[in-house]
Amino acid sequence: MDITAGLPNISASAFYLTQKTKSASVLFVCKTEEELEEFAAALKTFTPPQANLTAVILGEDKFSLYSGLYDIYKSKTPLVAAVTYETAQLPLPGKKDFAAKIINLQVAQTITRANLLAALESAGYERNDFTEKQGQYAVRGSVVDIFNAGSALPCRAYFSGNTVTTLTLFDIETQNTKTNLDELDVVPLKFEEQYSTLQNWVKDAGVYLQNPREEDLAAFNGSATLITTLNAPNAADAGLRPNANFNTDLNLFNAKVEKLQKENYKIILYCLNRGELDRLQEVFESYGALSKLPMTIAPLQKGFYSPLQKFAYFTSSEVLSRSYRGSALIKKFDNAQAKRVRFKELEAGDYIVHQEHGIGRYSGMETLESDGIPVDCLVVEFKRGEKLYVPINDFRKIQKYIGLKGKAPKISSLSGNAWKEVKKRVKEDAQKTAKEILKLEALRQANAAETLFGNDHMEREFEDSFPYEQTEDQTKAIAEILSD
């Protein structure tokens, strides 16, 4: 078994393997999901946009694993696949068995819904009232919703008889269509036999094992290459070295960069986001070598350098002694979601509020036709048995009624003006309250107080360095507080 040293961390291994995949595929195996995330971030950083390469990260859950197998099955280019030791040793279906269970849906395709539902059950998908997570499907009238493995959004298939009329990806919360599809491959999740291995799936790939334990080696044949961060006899040296620990000491970092610049190294500092980059550029202005340091934005977590090739890659996490897991970088705090009623939470008999027509009672779903296309509608009953059919893509106009427990609200009428009068009175009350607030604000303004001046530039950079995506409500709240 070959041994390669000179790869001090997972990021260095990813860089090294991107060079290997220019003409041949590789399989990279590491210990933990955290290492897998670091590898994926480095792979994204070092893979050129024009590279003819398929990157596949196979996680430990079945949805990530089987969607990864689907990517491998469909790949026509060299690939780099990454997996943990635990997942790499799982029994897998053979390629032919896997391919036979892929469900292909196309617009204008003829398929009975009974056959589709049987295929979904056979593929390991669970029927549910609503599709809320991967591996579920739901049926309502002429609509079949499928939450495909590996997909961020579920798919809605509309049928007219036994013909698929449309395929759309939709938002779980609002039910709004996000994009239209021409076809969909449903990734299978259940198999009668699992006799194959990941190595059989990537037979021609070079296998690289990051710091394996003795028990990890048993599952791989002698053709694998060991990657070690330690010096080892007879090991090939990849030539990459770890960066020093700067512990937020910018003088130390400046001295290191200055030394490398004199030796004609190509140097790049990778920052997590624009705010962090702008702030560091400002701070670096008072440091000679750092003021000229090239900087860019990428999710790289750890850097390294090469004395032979004369390049050095640093990360803001190393310089500032902080780090974020890759999954945390894309997490979104969305308090706005908490205010919405979720489609699943509505039950027949629930009172709801329609923003244009007032309070009614939800009585279920019905499918109507519009221009020959079936449309799922929420049926809302108002006074005197009046019914309103709300297309599911207008679901955002509906809110669940919240009132005194045990006390039924007064139902609105579609034909009257009562709801408009209610909204008018609420608006007038709101205006009255607003005038009182303005009066209090005027009194407050009349009292002299010390003015505290902020720093717009530093505040903006601080906001931009927040490693999460802000919601509209959060952005609005920040702006209002700062303008107070």
pLDDT at residue 44 above 50? yes
Which pLDDT score, from 0 to 100, does residue 339 have? 41
Which pLDDT score, from 0 to 100, does residue 454 have? 67
Which pLDDT score, from 0 to 100, does residue 19 have? 81
pLDDT at residue 279 above 70? yes
What is the per-residue pLDDT across 399-446, written as a single tens digit (0 to 9) for each? 888 776 666 788 888 877 767 777 778 788 888 888 888 878 777 777
pLDDT at residue 365 above 50? yes
Please tell me which residue, 209 or 230, carries the higher pLDDT value: 209
pLDDT band at 458 (very low <50, low <70, confident <90, very high): low
Lowest-pLDDT choice from 60-69, 149-158, 238-247, 356-365: 356-365
What is the per-residue pLDDT across 61-86, written as a single tens digit (0 to 9) for each? 899 999 999 999 999 888 899 999 99
Distance, CA of 112 to chain centre = 33
Give residues with Cβ within 8 angstroms of 8, minimum separation 6. 229, 240, 241, 242, 304
- Enclosing H/E stretch for 163: strand 163-170
Mean pLDDT (whole number) for 279-293? 91
Lowest-pLDDT choice from 152-156, 169-173, 326-330, 334-338: 334-338
pLDDT at residue 341 above 60? no
pLDDT at residue 1 above 50? yes
CA neighbor of 142 nearest in space, from 131, 121, 157, 125? 157
Which pLDDT score, from 0 to 100, does residue 391 have? 81
What is the per-residue pLDDT across 218-260, written as a single tens digit (0 to 9) for each? 777 667 888 987 777 788 899 999 999 888 899 999 999 999 9
Buried b (16+ CB within 10 A) or exposed e, 30-54: bbebebbbbbbbbbebbbeeeeebb
Rounded distance between C-alpha atoms, residue 115 and residue 159, angstroms? 13
Which pLDDT score, from 0 to 100, does residue 330 have? 37
Mean pLDDT (whole number) for 310-323? 88
pLDDT at residue 355 above 50? yes
Which pLDDT score, from 0 to 100, does residue 187 have? 97
pTM above 0.85, yes or no: no
Name the range with the highest mean pLDDT among 118-122, 286-290, 340-344: 118-122
Which pLDDT score, from 0 to 100, does residue 126 have? 95
Which pLDDT score, from 0 to 100, does residue 466 have? 64
Please tell me which residue, 468 or 97, carries the higher pLDDT value: 97
Mean pLDDT (whole number) for 129-142? 90
Torsion sign (Cα): 467, 468, 474, 476? positive
Tell me if 330 sits within 8 A of 152, measured CB to CB: no
pLDDT band at 311 (very low <50, low <70, confident <90, very high): very high
